[in-house]
Amino acid sequence: MIHPPDTRLVMAVPAVVVAVAALAVLVWLGAHAVRYLVADRKLRPVLRVAWRIKYTWRRTARRVGLAQTERIHSPWWSNRPPGTVVTRELIPAVTVAAEWWGVRVDASTVGRLGVEEFTQAAGHLADVWRVPLVRVAQVRPGLVRIRALLHDPLTQPATWTEPTDAESDPAVWVAGVDADEQPVTIRSAGVSGVVVAGLAGYGKTSFLNARYCQLAPSPAVQFVLIDGKGGPDYDDLFTRAWLSAKDDPEQVRDHLARVRELMVARQHAIRSVLGVKNVWHVGPSASWPLVAVVIDEAHTFLNETKGTDAQSKRLDALARETARLVEELIRKGRNVGIQVVLATQKATGDAIPTKIRDNCQVAISFAQRTSEAATAVLGSDITNAPDEHPRRLQDPAYVGVASMVAHGRPGFTLVRTPYVPDATADAIATATAHLVRDPLHLLTTGRVVADAAPR
């Protein structure tokens, strides 16, 4: 006997499904509502944007060109005739998180959709999401981070903290923090030339100050401090310097000649004293310290006026001599632990001879007015990185923010550098002044010890 189907059961199944779905929607809405209500007043607009981004992502991606289609054979279980070609849409998968500054969207790259395509779409994304700025960065291969900024975290000043022992290591240069407040380091081991460029008042001297404060407590570092501005910026720091000068070109030339003398002596002695050909293989030490030659407003000493009067000719000859010395120190000082750091408003060829600039392994740029000036310091790759372009930093909120190639990170990184108050720098200089040594003298005493040692 055939029983008719139980109509009550047949009707109950969809009803249960509908009830479960409705309950899920209610729970979901409830969770969002609770999150919204308990959120800080400042976070609520961020949450609204985050939800808009998350729930409209597929549509947005298609509209701004972040979708790709591919042609594939239909799978074996499909009821299409075997071998039929169908198209499939690829949209980068995203995870969305609300932060105090805005929304962080981590997107997995897919097909031809990588950091470049996201960067190109950034303007459109900002329009669709109705946020002032969208910034794109590659976090690691396969992952692109998009920041929809309601407030730019880089505009938040960073406070200076006393360096730890690891940070006083001359091989490490802690530059500051990135937009995610993660520490950013730049290469220092094996580096003999660093250029720091940027418009006046955007933080070059403060940046060098922070580096000085990081290194001053280390007996494995000696400083040569030269301030082309000639003002009081470096007055307090000179107490911890082996050699120091203001805008006196003759004295500067003499100091650099002395550093060159040290370089030549070190080149001769390195094998017998250290047993290696490159100091970075063993690291700088109290007896073979890193010599950090800081030349602020470096263009002051490297520019030729090409005047015809006697005074101009004398100064031009000095400038040529200084440029030659700087160039030689950067070209040959790497393996013996000499590091020249040049700060200048512009790094174009008229300010810093290209021979010097192009030999520097590390380049850092604070705000710049022109593309030409940015390219001069960071190289032509910066034109492909509009988000990290120094031209975008021309706003008082970005004083202390620089674009650079960071250690172990692809492309350019924007870094918020910490501000060291003058009193702190002064205190560090005074407390560490007893560490000043003459590296030439150390070399001769070190050699005596090495020569006396049994072989």
DSSP string, 63-74: HTT--EEEEEEP
In the range 122-161, which residues lie near ligand ADP by CB under 6 A?
157
Give the start-end residues of each E strand in 411-455: 413-416, 418-419
Is 398 a binder of ligand ADP (CB under 6 A)? no
Exactly one of 29, 200, 257, 448 binds ligand ADP (CB under 6 A); that residue is 200
Q: Are strands 102-108 and 94-99 parallel, antiparallel or unpaired?
A: antiparallel
Strand locations in 25-166, DSSP E?
Answer: 68-73, 85-90, 94-99, 102-108, 133-140, 143-149, 158-159
User: Are 136 and 146 within 8 A, CB to CB?
Assistant: yes
List 153, 198, 228, 390, residue binding ligand ADP (CB under 6 A)? 198
Contact 113, 66 (CB under 8 A): yes
368 counts as binding ligand ADP under rule CB under 6 A: no
- Contact call for residue 214 and ligand ADP (CB under 6 A): no
Q: Does 345 bind Mg ion (CB under 5 A)?
A: no
Q: What share of the chain is helix, strand, coil (3-state, %, to 5)?
A: 45, 20, 35
| 64 versus 197: smaller Cβ distance to ligand ADP | 197
State yes or no: residue 209 binds Mg ion (CB under 5 A). Answer: no
Q: Is residue 433 a contact point for ligand ADP (CB under 6 A)?
A: no
Token readout for 148 is: 């929809």
Stretch that binds ligand ADP, among 20-28, 30-38, 198-206, 218-226 (CB under 6 A): 198-206
Length of the chain: 455
Q: Least CB distance from residue 329 to ligand ADP, whole Å?
A: 22
Q: Which residues are annotated as a binding site?
A: 198-205
Q: Kindly report the backbone phi and psi dihedral angles of residue 373, in degrees, each rounded to the nearest multiple of 5, phi listed first.
A: -65, -40
Task: Compare residues 64 and 415 and give the one whose CB is closer to ligand ADP.
Answer: 415
Which of these ranges, 45-53, 142-150, 203-211, 383-391, lies near ligand ADP under the rule CB under 6 A?
203-211
Contact 166, 217 (CB under 8 A): no
Residue numbering of the annotated binding site for ATP: 198-205
Find the binder of ligand ADP among 64, 279, 363, 399 (CB under 6 A). Answer: 399
Query: Would you say 204 or 266 has its CB closer to Mg ion?
Result: 204
Which residues bind to ligand ADP, rule: CB under 6 A? 157, 198, 200-206, 399-400, 417-419
Which residues bind to Mg ion, rule: CB under 5 A? 204-205
